[in-house]
Every structure is written in C-alpha cells, then in structure tokens.
Amino acid sequence: MEVEANINSEKLPQHVAIIMDGNGRWAKQKGLFRTIGHENGTKAVKETVESCARLGIPYLTLYAFSTENWNRPKLEVDTLMKLLVSSLKKEISTLQENDIKLHAIGNLDALPGKAKRELQDVIDKTKNNTRMTLTLALSYGSREELTKTIQEISLKVKNNLISPSSIDESVINNHLYTRDLPDVDLLIRTSGEQRISNFLLWQIAYAELHFTETFWPDFTKNHLFEAIVNYQNRERRFGKTSEQIEN
C-alpha cells in the first residue's frame, strides 16, 4: 500500500517527536545482544530523518538517551555513546545533502568529551541548513529541564531582573532547552509501551499521541507515513467545540 500518497502536504505536523523504543527487545527476540539492537536502530533513525525532511516537516526531535538511561549497565551506556559518535561522523553527509540543521537538548555537559566534541562539530557545520531542524534529546529529562528552568527564573527574580507576576508561559518557554522549537504536534512511541518516560512534559501539552507495536529497528518510512495520516485524520480542538473548529 502506498501510504505516502494519502498524506496531505498542507496539513503536516510542524513538530514531530519520537520516543525510539524497543531496541533491546528487538535484539532479544532474535537471540542477539542488546547492543546489536541499538546498532540496527541507527538505520531507522536515518530513514526517519530523511523521510521527514523530504516530506517537509520543519522540526523532528528524537529521544536518544534519557537522564534515567545513565542507570543502565556501563557497557550498554558506553556502547550507546560510541554509537552516537560514529553515527554523527557517518551521517553528517546525510544532514548536509538534505539541508538539515542539527540541534541538541539535554544536560549535554554530562556526555563524554568525545561525544560532546563530535556533537558540537556537527552542530557547527550544519548551522546554516534550513530545510529541517533535527533535535537529538541526549541525557535529556523533562523534570531536570523544568527544575533548571525554575532555578534560572528564581535567580532572575532574586536579582530583580523580572517580577514574579511577569512570569507567564512565554517566560517559561524561553528558559527551556526547547526555547527555539515550536510545541510538539505529533508524538510517536514505538515498541508498544504507552508512557512518556520523562520526555518533553511541558511541550506535549496538546500533542497528538501515536503508539505503535513496532520495535524501533523495524520502524520504516511507511510506519512514519501511517502515523502522519492517522494524525491528519484527527480533529485538534484545543479545548473548543467541534462546531467552533469547523467554522
């Protein structure tokens, strides 16, 4: 089935965010090490990134490593960090060819030096690209982001730079890691889990949620197209009535 043909290019989500889950189970099912699952997950990343750019989606955010993922066995964490470095080196050409700007959110200082340097290098080299912004959430946790935001705003209040009554949603937005990104329109999670796992809690306030049973390494462009078609068939009411939306 050609799902892509059913996509309405006028109604694309402006910001798609994906919780790429199920690498470990994908590998286990095949009798392989979890790390092989992560390696195969990078193929799905490439296909998804290229497909989103081709469709004309301006913002794609991928949850690659959470603050909680630091608690995994050291060997797995090391493998994921190495995979990050090798993927950045390998895929910079994909980003350049597709006019994609790389961006990162999270506690990036917690990343190993090599990963931090490689990441900064690709961010610098792609900074003038304009077709799509690809954001990697690395060492990212929404609660940590909100905690940091509250600390920064409190300090400004203490130093009389802003008054408590002037703190509104836009002030909060401007202190988040995601300050340069629009709200999430469509959140996809693979692997059958139906939870948020500390991802973009503030930013998904009105996102449409799409859960699929597919493990991340098996996620293809057709799964992406299916999620977008599904999104386009929903009515986003933002608290209003259906009649108000129709008019």
Using CB distances below 5 to 8 A depending on partner kind, what does residue 80 bind out of ligand IPE, Mg ion, none?
Answer: ligand IPE
Region of 14-22, 122-130, 179-187, 202-210 interacting with Mg ion (CB under 5 A): 14-22
Site map (CB under 6 A) of ligand IPE, residues 192-221, x = contact:
-x-x-x------------------x-----
Distance from C-alpha of 126 to C-alpha of 113, rounded to nearest angstrom: 20
126 makes contact with ligand IPE (CB under 6 A): no
Q: Which residues, other chains included, contact 140 with Cβ-Cβ below 8 Å and sequence gap of 6+?
A: 63, 65, 66, 67, 105, 106, 107, 177, 199
80 makes contact with ligand IPE (CB under 6 A): yes
Helices and strands counted in the chain (H then E) = 8, 6
Region of 15-23, 59-67, 79-87, 141-149 interacting with Mg ion (CB under 5 A): 15-23
SS3 20: coil
Which contacts (CB < 8 Å, 24+ apart) does range 149-157 have?
149/175, 149/176
Nearest to 125 by CA among 88, 83, 179: 88
52 makes contact with ligand IPE (CB under 6 A): no
Using CB distances below 5 to 8 A depending on partner kind, what does residue 195 bind out of Mg ion, ligand IPE, none?
Answer: ligand IPE
Residue from 21, 50, 145, 185 touching Mg ion (CB under 5 A): that is 21
Q: In this structure, is the dihedral angle defined by the CA atoms of residues 196, 194, 65 and 63, taken in order, positive or negative?
A: negative
Q: How far is the CB of 193 from Mg ion (least distance, A)?
A: 7
25 makes contact with ligand IPE (CB under 6 A): yes
Distance from C-alpha of 197 to C-alpha of 71, rounded to nearest angstrom: 14
CB contact at 8 A, 94 and 132: no
Catalytically annotated residues = 21, 69
Q: How far is the CB of 154 from Mg ion (least distance, A)?
A: 34
Binding site for ligand IPE (CB under 6 A): 19-25, 63-66, 68-69, 80, 191, 193, 195, 197, 216
